[in-house]
Every structure is written in C-alpha cells, then in structure tokens.
C-alpha cells in the first residue's frame, strides 16, 4: 500500500490544455497510459521532466472523448498518424481502494487469530487445554490390576457375623 501511495504522490497533476500546450506541442511525450479508464499517466521522454517529475497525469471524462480529443490535437499539430503518441490501457489497484479494504482485512485477521487461540485453549494442538468443555468431561479413572492390591476381605472385616451377613 505504501509503495502505491508513494508512486501516486510522485506524480504531478496537469490539465488537458496544459498537456496539449506545454508537453504534446513540444514533442516531449513518450507515451500515454490510460489507467482504470479514469485518468491518464503521461510519460515524458528521457531527460525531460516537469517540476522534478518525469510522470504527469490528468483526469479524463471518458476514454472515447479522450481518444477523440487526442487525435484532434495531434491532427492540428500536423503529426502524421504513424507518429501518434502511443496510448496504453492499464488496470491498476489504487492505494485509495486498498485503504478501504484495510479495516475488513484487520477484522478477518483478528477473528482468525481468536478462533485459533480458542481452539488451542480447548485442546487443539496437543490437548493441553482440556477438551470441548474445559476438562469437565475428562475422566480421571485409572485401570487397576487386582494382583497389585494387597488388602483382602478377611483383613478388613473384623467380625465373623458381618462376614456371614455379607456372604449371604
């Protein structure tokens, strides 16, 4: 975005009459670039510049009227059609349009960050967080081997009557 803004700020704006009288008539225009059908970038021949900039620009109403006016101006200056200034049509992303997308991109990035962070807290990536319900549903039961237990029924029940009752 910064690069686009730099390039747009490095241009010098001129009007149509200024372009025709000061640049086209002097023969110092190398080529014209119609950008996004809205404005024209004027590239001057090497060694020529205007106010320290070798790139000028002006707004156009429509491409058709621009082409018609350019052809008429070149005919009035007795420029032969093979020597007409080349016109190139381009579509470029403008910094102004990108700056409009910036808040949306920031919000989307924040939402993705929060989703990933909450997934980690819920147990994604190594199950460190505790699952879907924060660890509430996880069991703490252990599998026990009966041979490892040293305490028997006869060690616990001290009374013969209790043993008989339980055995019944």
- Confidence class of residue 5 from pLDDT cuts 50, 70 and 90? very low
Give yes or no for residue 128 having a pLDDT over 70: no
Taking the C-alpha atoms of residue 75 and residue 165, their distance in angstroms, rounded to an integer, is 123
Taking the C-alpha atoms of residue 29 and residue 32, their distance in angstroms, rounded to an integer, is 8
Residues 6+ apart with CB under 8 A from 47: none
- Confidence class of residue 167 from pLDDT cuts 50, 70 and 90? confident
What are the pLDDT digits (tens) for 72-118?
999 999 989 999 999 999 988 766 666 778 888 899 999 999 888 88
Q: Contact, 139 vs 147, CB < 8 A?
A: no
What are the pLDDT digits (tens) for 31-76?
999 999 999 999 988 888 776 666 889 999 899 999 999 999 999 9
Query: Who wins on pLDDT, 162 or 109?
Result: 109
Residue whose pair of structure tokens reads 């029924």 in the numeric block: 153
What are the pLDDT digits (tens) for 55-65?
889 999 899 99
Residue 142, pLDDT score? 82
Residue 129, pLDDT score? 53
Residue 87, pLDDT score? 94
Q: Contact, 44 vs 27, CB < 8 A?
A: no
């Amino acid at each position: 975005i910064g690069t686009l803004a730099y390039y747009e700020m490095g241009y010098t704006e001129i009007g149509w009459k200024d372009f025709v009288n000061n640049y086209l008539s002097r023969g110092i225009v190398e080529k014209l670039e119609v950008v996004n059908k809205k404005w024209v970038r004027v590239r001057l021949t090497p060694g020529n510049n205007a106010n320290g900039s070798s790139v000028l620009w002006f707004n156009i109403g429509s491409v058709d009227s621009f082409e018609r006016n350019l052809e008429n101006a070149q005919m009035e200056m007795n420029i032969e059609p093979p020597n007409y200034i080349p016109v190139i049509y381009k579509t470029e992303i403008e910094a102004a349009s990108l700056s409009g997308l910036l808040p949306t991109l920031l919000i989307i990035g924040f939402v993705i960050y929060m989703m990933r962070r909450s997934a980690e807290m819920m147990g994604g990536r190594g199950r460190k967080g505790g699952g879907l319900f924060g660890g509430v549903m996880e069991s703490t039961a252990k599998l026990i081997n009966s041979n490892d237990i040293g305490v028997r029924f006869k060690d616990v029940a001290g009374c013969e009557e209790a043993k008989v009752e339980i055995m019944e």
